[in-house]
């Protein structure tokens, strides 16, 4: 029996060493060698971006925080003297953005402006769940567990060459979906008519915690002379219609008590046209351009009606009524 156990331990050990060696050499997620020049199926964006920024505290002074949706926002289109970095990462929530801001400030980053892209994920997403996911963990110095988790991952059978994304970690911070864009260009109508369904409807509810965290983000920005610009992300009609809109409207009411914001959600022209989306959860760069145009007043032509409405505590009820009327007439 002892011999059997020893043999089992030996075989398991050899298997783990082979697995870890393979993952280190192949480096599917770019963590070990820091090479993000080729397409990857994913990368621990939150971790590697914070590490990069803290190692280069003078490189950027303006940031866009938000979940993966804001990855399609091209901040290089803004010409106001600031140097922008897109801090998008999967399932990002206010708790994480608040801690990132504190960490960046403590690390010597002089932040002038923050763009904050919120949506329904902001109040149901759980940062504790993110910490258990090796691709979503936050940055901690000497975090050996992050590397061990990656070394022990089961190798993917999907090829990054056909499904991967290029993560521009060392420049803009954006993910570039070149392969998907090429697929769309081949037959835009087919792609739009068969848009991949990705839900953003969650079962959790951190509304109170999220509002407190956004309040603290606002206070931290004010204390440090940081201009805070908040906006609600555009949503496809599928995602918009599947969520609890009463809950979403309550989020909008409470957000308006903290700060004014631009609301890009609703059943506007952008939402109902599948050509504007990679999947039902993620808008494409042409939509990101319209967000920048609206916020920074750079639009050359009129934007879609109801897209990017400026909302404050004084007009939030009127705005919600307009959205409800829009929904009823859809």
Percent of the chain with pLDDT over 70: 87
Cα–Cα dist 102/88, whole Å: 17
**Total domain count for the chain?**
1
Give the pLDDT mean for 300-307: 80
Cα–Cα dist 252/318, whole Å: 12
Cα–Cα dist 43/170, whole Å: 13
Give the pLDDT confidence score for residue 37 in this predicted structure. 85
Give me the residue label for tokens 């906006």.
231
Q: How many residues are recorded in the chain?
A: 330
Q: Is the pLDDT of residue 306 over 60?
A: yes
pLDDT band at 19 (very low <50, low <70, confident <90, very high): low
Cα–Cα dist 233/105, whole Å: 26
> Which of 150, 145, 141 shows the shortest CA–CA distance to 51?
141
Give the pLDDT confidence score for residue 8 in this predicted structure. 65
CATH number of the domain enclosing 249: 3.40.50.1110
Give the pLDDT confidence score for residue 160 in this predicted structure. 56
Cβ-in-10-Å burial (0-12, 13-18, 19+) of 87 comes to buried
The order of strands in the sheet holding 227-232 is 84-88, 62-66, 113-118, 227-232, 261-263, 309-311
pLDDT band at 304 (very low <50, low <70, confident <90, very high): confident
Cα–Cα dist 177/196, whole Å: 15
pLDDT band at 76 (very low <50, low <70, confident <90, very high): very high
User: Domain of 203?
Assistant: 2-328
- Residues β-bridged to residue 84: 62
CB 40 within 8 A of CB 89: no
Calculate the average pLDDT of the chain.
90
pLDDT band at 298 (very low <50, low <70, confident <90, very high): confident
Question: What confidence tens digit (pLDDT) does each residue in 235-291 have?
Answer: 999 999 999 999 999 999 999 999 999 999 999 999 999 999 999 999 999 999 999
The token duo for 205 is 């509810």
């Amino acid at each position: 029996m002892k011999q059997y156990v020893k043999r089992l331990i030996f075989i398991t050990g050899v298997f783990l060493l082979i697995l870890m060696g393979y993952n280190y050499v192949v480096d599917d997620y770019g963590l070990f060698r820091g090479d993000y020049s080729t397409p990857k199926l994913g990368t621990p964006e939150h971790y590697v971006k914070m590490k990069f920024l803290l190692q280069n505290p003078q490189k950027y002074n303006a940031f866009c925080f938000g979940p993966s949706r804001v990855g399609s926002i091209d901040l290089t289109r803004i010409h106001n003297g600031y140097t922008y970095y897109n801090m998008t990462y999967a399932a990002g929530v206010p708790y994480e953005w608040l801690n990132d801001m504190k960490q960046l400030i403590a690390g010597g980053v002089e932040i002038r402006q923050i763009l904050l892209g919120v949506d329904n994920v902001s109040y149901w997403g759980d940062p504790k769940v993110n910490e258990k996911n090796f691709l979503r963990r936050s940055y901690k110095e000497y975090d050996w567990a992050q590397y061990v988790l990656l070394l022990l991952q089961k190798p993917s059978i999907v090829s990054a060459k056909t499904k991967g994304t290029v993560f521009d970690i060392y420049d803009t911070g954006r993910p570039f979906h070149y392969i998907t864009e090429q697929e769309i260009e081949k037959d835009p109508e087919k792609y739009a008519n068969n848009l991949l369904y990705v839900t953003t409807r969650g079962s959790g509810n951190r509304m109170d915690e999220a509002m407190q965290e956004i309040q603290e983000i606002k206070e931290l920005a004010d204390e440090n002379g940081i201009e805070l610009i908040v906006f609600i992300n555009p949503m496809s009609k599928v995602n918009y219609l599947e969520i609890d809109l009463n809950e979403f409207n309550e989020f909008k009411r409470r957000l308006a008590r903290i700060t004014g914001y631009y609301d890009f959600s609703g059943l506007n022209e952008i939402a109902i046209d599948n050509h504007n989306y990679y999947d039902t959860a993620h808008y494409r760069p042409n939509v990101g351009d319209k967000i920048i145009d609206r916020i920074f007043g750079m639009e050359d032509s009129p934007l879609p009606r109801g897209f990017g409405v400026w909302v404050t505590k004084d007009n939030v009820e009127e705005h919600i009524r307009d959205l409800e009327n829009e929904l009823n007439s859809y």
